[in-house]
Amino acid sequence: MERLAIFTAIDGTLLDPCTFDPGAARPLLHRLSAMAIPVVPVTVMTLEELAPLAAELGMRHAMIVEAGGAIARWKNDAWEVEPFGPPADALLDVIAEIEERSGANLLVYSALPDADAARVSGRSGEMLRASTHRAYSEPFLLESGELDAVIDAAAAIGFSIRRGRRFLHLCRESREGEAFARIREELRCDVAIGAGGSPVDAGFLAGCDVAIIVPRPDGEPDAELLSSVPRARVAPAPGPEGWAAAIDDAIVPDAVRRLRR
């Protein structure tokens, strides 16, 4: 029997982008757990931010956090972290160099006043605080300047810029997809099913056997992500509802699917 694993983005895909609730995805998550099918978050969120959600949803496999900046594994009743990129302090120096090279002004998320951080992230309270405590990534916004110039400046020093649902993210070109490949190997996964919604998810979706794009709240898939992963399926609805429907369809064998019809 083939071993399946689900690799998924979180914000705006598995979770509603406004309420951060799994909603319609919750029953499927319980069923996946009962079927011993791992659900592996691949997210820009911090471990501190994600850990309470993982506990609530019963996720006790590995998690790829902070845009590939680290892998967290559940061992001895705690999360053990393996850094998979430079620390956040070093990335602040990289951002400063990109500003100098590009002439752009970049607003680093972790340095924003709380009110501004809450407005752009949709978070509040403890979740907001946890999201700004970056250890392995520094999401940012373009305050002024040209995005193309920022992308070129990043490339000149070995980084790429990937757009998420809310922020721009620095990624190491040479490390893109490596964390996903490591976890897939550890899980001895024969079939990897991936779900994402923004260009920052392209790296791991490209490595999945079944790639799913969860549409934006307006019902349209992100055009940039779709062009990066043209073979991807598009979920039938935004957020958890679309996520659950598309994942359920992907894990049901073709023969059973035909009988359902």
Residue with tokens 């110039």: 149
Q: d(Cα 213, Cα 40) in Å, to the nearest integer?
A: 16
pLDDT score for 84:
85
CA nearest to 54, candidates 65, 165, 84 = 65
Q: What is the 3-state secondary structure (H, E, C) of 211-225?
A: EEECCCCCCCCCHHH
**Half-sphere exposure at residue 234, Cβ-oriented, CA atoms within 13 angstroms:** 15
CA nearest to 214, candidates 191, 230, 192, 198 = 198
Residue segments in the chain with a per-residue pLDDT below the cut of 70? 1, 173-176, 253-261
- Which residues have C-beta within 8 Å of that of residue 259, sequence separation ≥ 6? none
Q: Which two tokens stand for residue 1?
A: 């029997």
- Which residues have C-beta within 8 Å of that of residue 241, sequence separation ≥ 6? 23, 24, 25
Q: Which two tokens stand for residue 39?
A: 């659900």
Q: d(Cα 188, Cα 184) in Å, to the nearest integer?
A: 6
* One-letter amino acid of 219: G
Judged by DSSP in three states, 65 sits in strand
Cα separation values, 139 from 81, 92, 109, 182, 225, Å: 20, 10, 6, 24, 18
Distance of CA 226 to the CA centre of its chain: 16
pLDDT score for 85:
81
On whether the CB atoms of residues 65 and 86 are closer than 8 A, the answer is no
pLDDT score for 24:
93
pLDDT score for 252:
77
DSSP state of 3: P
Cα separation values, 180 from 3, 7, 42, 110, 252, Å: 16, 8, 8, 25, 23
Judged by DSSP in three states, 12 sits in coil
CA nearest to 181, candidates 212, 164, 205 = 205
pLDDT score for 173:
56
Domains along the sequence of the chain with CATH:
4-83+175-260 (3.40.50.1000), 88-173 (3.30.980.20)
